[in-house]
Amino acid sequence: MIGQYAVFVAYLEPGDEVIMFEPFFDQWLPSITFNHGVPVYVPLHPPSPEQAKSTSNDWTIDFDELRKAVTSKTKVIIVNTPHNPVGKVFTQHELEGIAAVAKEHNLLVMADEVVSMSHFIMLRCRLIGGYSTTALSSTTSLMSESATSRECGTEQSLSSLQESPLRAQVGGSAT
């Protein structure tokens, strides 16, 4: 939680918009609004009730809805994979689509991937920053040792960011 809050402190100006896929992790909303950001909701669509044996991965993104949500005030898209609370692991196609929208509009992607390295998820989880140098340069990935090692309660978090204006704002370098 500290890492995502730090991203909003460093990156948001009053009135800047942050796109969140709904439903969303409950800590994002106060972190955005405390930093004078404006949440913008883009729904993940659940599977059809008629679909037999659906899973969390059957939830879908409507990329037209995502593009329509972007305005001149949008600064950040939050991607959470596996998604909390739905559990969806975004596909390569979905992550590439999100990265394309971010690139087109010069947006930061805050990739909340705190449980992506858990042993049972590693084989199927793809990280958004790994698709191209463009996606990597506009992505900050949030990881958590406490989530990875299942040691809840520890106050350790890690935010990694390649060379970018945000890195300069928080006083670090990628080396």
Are the beta carbons of 129 and 135 closer than 8 angstroms? yes
Q: Distance (Å, rounded) from C-alpha 43 to C-alpha 49?
A: 17
Are the beta carbons of 89 and 57 closer than 8 angstroms? yes
Parse the chain into domains and list their residue ranges.
Answer: 2-45+57-169
Are the beta carbons of 164 and 137 closer than 8 angstroms? yes
Q: Distance (Å, rounded) from C-alpha 36 to C-alpha 145?
A: 29
Closest CA relative to residue 65, chosen from 35, 1, 12, 22: 22
- Residue 170 has a pLDDT of 44
Low-confidence spans in the chain with pLDDT less than 50? 116-127, 131-134, 136-137, 142-175
Q: Exposed, middle or buried: residue 151 (CB in 10 Å: 0-12, 13-18, 19+)?
A: exposed
- Residue 113 has a pLDDT of 67
Span 34-50, pLDDT tens digits: 999 999 999 999 888 88
- The SS3 of residue 26 is coil
φ/ψ bin of 11: left (φ > 0), alpha (ψ from -120 to 50), beta (otherwise): alpha
Q: Distance (Å, rounded) from C-alpha 63 to C-alpha 153?
A: 36
- Residue 82 has a pLDDT of 80
Give the number of other Cβ atoms within 10 Å of residue 33's Cβ.
Answer: 13
- Residue 77 has a pLDDT of 93
CATH code of domain 2-45+57-169: 3.40.640.10
- Residue 174 has a pLDDT of 42
- Residue 149 has a pLDDT of 46
79 - beta bridge partners?
A: 111
Q: What is the CA radius of gyration of the chain?
A: 16
